[in-house]
Structure 1
């Protein structure tokens, strides 16, 4: 009954969703491209498979899926990968990673209307579907099960807060998740919460983000960028979200140490690059934009207070250029972003109080000595100042970051083994 009501609501929501695409395209033009795909129309795309379908809603999920995608391409050489998204930035990230690979095709997933989902499945006829992390659409899951396509929720996470919210739906939530062939959870805590909902087929396979290998070229360019800052330390504020930058800039202006570092400020969403640059300028800082720097031919030191990371697909470079990094989305209650990318290049991290999206990884990183938790923006600057002033402590945290990132690898192979029984 709940799914019926939900489906009927889509009759009202669908026109509004299309209008919202147009509205969002004012700042991000990608939202007005490929609109037909969101309605299940794929006539311009190849239907020639066989297909393994992986859904990665946006940037973070697409990056996290890379080790799994690479493993699937290697393990099933006769298959092609259908990589679906919901956001233009997710699609752009997939294009950067696999645009030259003829075995990977990208498109948008249709809106969660049964007829549109059936049209999508009828066109591509995937052998199996792998949904990344938390992207659970009731009609998508139900229709996929009805037509006999095995569907896995991979790298699945369910925070305590999300569990409490989902548990309110009682048996409906259990029925939804039990339509998956299996839920492959990141941690034992995630698996325990799924089982508490009544989900039967749950396995712990680990976090795919630990298997992400930072590109060597990106690391090398990061080291080049780091040298351009000279004797100054570099503090990164990475994947920052709306509402965080004013807090960070205000606290950075009151830097508690003797020598203020350079701030490498990287907003999470590209449509906000100009807005954040203006914020920093109004706060009285000199700003150098990455898009105006030729990192491969730097012929002068970088003297700006802030370098704005206004580019996509260069997080490895930004982290490699930093001595310590704050991971955004955690000073305000948004749940935080992925800290593993920074640790993988040996950059110690600082996290705010709100890390429910990466709770286990954050606690493990703190226990490993790779991460410090701070209460607010002033505490963030105080912690960064203390670590940067102590070279021995900074070196220890770097070593702990690398060790932490290496200890938790292996989720890709465990995920591959879990889905292998349903694949030819």
Structure 2
């Protein structure tokens, strides 16, 4: 009965959903493109190869996290068709940049039964793998009725989501019974799923596949070239994946830092592309000499800030930096992945709001592999200043965090081992 009310509500709110999409499209026009796909209409797409696997990564962060998994699947199961679904245009762009034409991409439709049925009829998958948190009752039910396994890989369940699901715990038991496998990225998420009533026998802890991040030789070559053009022996700090309310603090902190380190360069990389222009306005109003990465301009010795306004280059930016601040943590967003800068052995600074990655930050804090600060420009400028003044401190912090990264690798292989029975069967049928 609850799903009837849920579905009715989903249909009733569609005018609001479309209005919201229209508002978002003012800043990001791609949100009003391909709207038909949001309702399961794919006339503009060529029909993909059938009997494959769907991998759903909601937005760009999940796409980046799952990229190594998808590349391994392509390597180990070359005959397996892969359809990649996202819900954001930035996620779509990242899929195309990472995989080109080797996968089919489309938007996952809203959780409306008719739209979901059209989607499944179009793709005709044999397995559906969701990354991290996406649980849609109608999607799961439709797949179950067609005997298509639904798997949650690298599963994460935040305290907020667990509390929200807990209020309707009894209503979720049918949905949970239809999920073939949940592979949590940490013990905390695993315990939260079990507390909600998911069967222990079908939950397999793998660890976080983000620990399996490897810096490729190609990336190292690109960072060396960019460093030669941009850095030229200047100290560089990066503020990455920033959100509204953080950039002002970061820019104020940079003003304070320039008084002590006049040739310091800041790489400022907002999390969402629709904020590139507003952040550029903030930088200009703060009276910095700055350039935008998208122009291809080479910074001069007078350049104080570079705005990272391109997609898919965050790792490249980390590679030329000396210190990394990871955003979403000075405001109550919950933080972002601190492991990417640690792959370069960078010292990582974070705000105190890191509830999106509880076990990762706990592990890092235990070995002093990350520094957490209060949400003030003074605290930020002081910690960056201390690190700039001590190469030894930078190395100790970076090495401690890197060791945590190395010690926790292996989740990707554990996840592949769990997926093997599902993927082998359909891959052999596609030969």
TM over 0.5: yes
Aligned to 2:26, what secondary structure does the other structure show?
coil
Report how far residue 257 of structure 1 moved. 7.1
Q: Which residue of 2 aligns with 1:286?
A: 289
Report how far residue 50 of structure 1 moved. 2.5
Report how far residue 173 of structure 1 moved. 3.1
Q: Which residue of 2 aligns with 1:339?
A: 338
RMSD value, Cα: 1.8
Could you tell me how far apart the structure 2 residues matched to 1:216 and 1:29 are? 36
Could you tell me how far apart the structure 2 residues matched to 1:215 and 1:310 are? 23
Aligned to 2:306, what secondary structure does the other structure show?
strand
Report how far residue 15 of structure 1 moved. 2.9
Report how far residue 174 of structure 1 moved. 3.7
CA contact (8 A) 2:240 2:324 kept: yes
CA contact (8 A) 1:229 1:301 kept: no
Q: Give unmatched runs, 5+ long, in structure 2.
A: 426-431
CA contact (8 A) 1:229 1:302 kept: no
Report how far residue 45 of structure 1 moved. 2.3
Could you tell me how far apart the structure 1 residues matched to 2:217 and 2:35 are? 36
Aligned positions of 1:48-59 closer than 5 A: 48-59=49-60
CA contact (8 A) 1:214 1:341 kept: no
Q: Which residue of 1 aligns with 2:29?
A: 29
String of CA shifts for 1:317-345, please: whole Å, max 9, x gaps. 11011111111100000011111111112
- Is 1:422 matched with 2:422? yes
Query: Which of 267, 270, 274 is matched with 1:267 structurally?
Result: 270
Aligned to 2:204, what secondary structure does the other structure show?
strand
Aligned to 2:403, what secondary structure does the other structure show?
helix
Could you tell me how far apart the structure 1 residues matched to 2:399 and 2:348 are? 12
Q: Which residue of 1 aligns with 2:361?
A: 362
Residues 387/174 of structure 1: CA separation in 2 closer, same or farther (3 Å cut): farther
Could you tell me how far apart the structure 1 residues matched to 2:173 and 2:413 are? 27
Could you tell me how far apart the structure 1 residues matched to 2:61 and 2:225 are? 25
String of CA shifts for 1:286-320, please: whole Å, max 9, x gaps. 111112235xxx5x744311111111100111101
Greater Cα offset, 393-402 or 268-277? 393-402
CA contact (8 A) 2:57 2:66 kept: yes
Q: Which residue of 2 aligns with 1:168?
A: 167
Aligned to 1:238, what secondary structure does the other structure show?
strand
Aligned positions of 1:368-379 closer than 5 A: 368-377=367-376, 378-379=378-379
Aligned to 2:257, what secondary structure does the other structure show?
coil
Report how far residue 140 of structure 1 moved. 1.1
Q: Which portions of structure 1, spanning 4 or more consecutive aligned residues, are displaced by more than 6 angstroms?
A: none
Q: Which residue of 2 aligns with 1:138?
A: 137
Could you tell me how far apart the structure 1 residues matched to 2:73 and 2:222 are? 29
Could you tell me how far apart the structure 2 residues matched to 1:191 and 1:341 are? 24
Could you tell me how far apart the structure 1 residues matched to 2:367 and 2:97 are? 33
Could you tell me how far apart the structure 1 residues matched to 2:248 and 2:231 are? 24
String of CA shifts for 1:168-188, please: whole Å, max 9, x gaps. 112123433332101110011
Aligned to 1:82, what secondary structure does the other structure show?
strand
String of CA shifts for 1:222-274, please: whole Å, max 9, x gaps. 33433433343111100001121112222332339722521110001111111
Q: Which residue of 1 aligns with 2:246?
A: 244
CA contact (8 A) 1:256 1:381 kept: no
Q: Which residue of 1 aligns with 2:429?
A: none
TM-score, length basis structure 2: 0.92
Q: Give unmatched runs, 5+ long, in structure 1.
A: none
Aligned positions of 1:79-118 closer than 5 A: 79-101=80-102, 104-118=103-117
Could you tell me how far apart the structure 2 residues matched to 1:331 and 1:143 are? 40
Residues 383/257 of structure 1: CA separation in 2 closer, same or farther (3 Å cut): farther
CA contact (8 A) 1:222 1:321 kept: yes
CA contact (8 A) 2:129 2:152 kept: yes
